[in-house]
């Protein structure tokens, strides 16, 4: 193995950390999981690097509707967390508060919790309206994946946040309207 080449590539690519633990939670189990996180480690759902709550109610409803239709990729069902001591004792070189902090997925998590509390509708219906049907959201067929990282320094955590939230280009309203027009044309044919 060419260590010099590998080190040069590592410096160029700057690989990101990988999660140390992952688990799927049905929507009905999310609040219990968050309670356990809080009791065991402390829980920070509003770290200073998060952009806050930016989704509109229309976007939130669209997310739940896409979940019900199974139109979401697995990445849209992922919530990423960090806890320096998740794998045991907090290492001495960590400059982070020893708590579980949400790194990515705040909009998704907030939306699911709002829907479960009846503060949001999907297709005009509330969470409990789907009970006793194939669309019952309490089942494991509708779940959110939690991924836990053990990043140890604030600089590494902020760099990770920037790396996973930079790039990407959302569709413009004009681009979506163009595709809607194509669909309408096809449906009329």
For 125-139, what is each residue's pLDDT tens digit? 999 999 999 998 877
Would the pLDDT of 75 be above 80? yes
Q: What is the mean pLDDT of residues 33-57?
A: 95
Name the region of 53 (left: φ>0; alpha: ψ -120 to 50; beta: rest). Answer: beta
pLDDT of the residue at 105: 95
Categorize the per-residue pLDDT at 78 as very low, low, confident or very high, splitting at 50, 70 and 90.
Answer: very high
- pLDDT, tens digit, for every residue of 21-35? 999 999 989 999 999
**Which H or E element spans position 44?**
strand 43-44
- Check: CB of residue 114 under 8 Å from CB of residue 60: yes
Strand partners of residue 148:
21, 81
The residues spanned by each domain of the chain are 16-166
180 or 100: which leads in pLDDT:
100
Residue 180: pLDDT over 70: yes
Helix/strand number for the chain, H first, E second: 6, 5
Of the listed ranges 35-44, 85-94, 95-104, the least confidently predicted one is: 85-94
Give percent of the chain with pLDDT exceeding 90: 66
Contact partners, residue 100, CB within 8 Å, separation at least 6: 37, 38, 41, 42, 43, 44, 81, 82, 83, 86, 148
Query: In this predicted structure, what is the pLDDT of residue 132?
Result: 92
Work out the burial of residue 99: count CB atoms within 10 Å of its CB; fewer than 13 is exposed, 13-18 middle, 19 or more buried.
Answer: middle
Tell me what pLDDT residue 169 has: 67
Phi and psi (nearest 5°) for 145?
A: -100, 130
What is the pTM for the complete model shown? 0.87
Which residues on adjacent β-strands are paired with residue 100?
43
Q: What is the pLDDT of residue 111?
A: 97
Average pLDDT over the chain, rounded to whole? 91
């Amino acid at each position: 193995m060419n260590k010099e080449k590998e080190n040069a590539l590592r410096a160029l690519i700057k690989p990101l950390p990988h999660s140390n633990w992952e688990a799927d939670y049905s929507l009905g189990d999310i609040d219990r999981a968050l309670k356990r996180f809080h009791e065991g480690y402390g829980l920070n759902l509003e770290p200073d690097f998060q952009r806050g709550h930016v989704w509109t109610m229309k976007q939130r409803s669209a997310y739940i509707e896409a979940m019900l239709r199974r139109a979401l990729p697995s990445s849209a069902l992922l919530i990423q967390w960090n806890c320096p001591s998740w794998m045991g004792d907090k290492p001495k070189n960590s400059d982070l508060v020893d708590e579980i902090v949400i790194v990515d997925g705040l909009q998704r998590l907030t939306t699911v919790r709002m829907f479960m509390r009846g503060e949001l509708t999907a297709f005009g219906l509330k969470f409990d309206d789907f009970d006793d049907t194939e669309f019952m959201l309490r089942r494991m067929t509708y779940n959110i994946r939690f991924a836990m990282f053990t990043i140890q320094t604030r600089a590494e955590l902020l760099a990770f946040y920037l790396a996973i939230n930079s790039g990407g280009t959302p569709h413009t309203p004009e681009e979506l309207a163009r595709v809607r027009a194509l669909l309408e044309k096809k449906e009329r044919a």
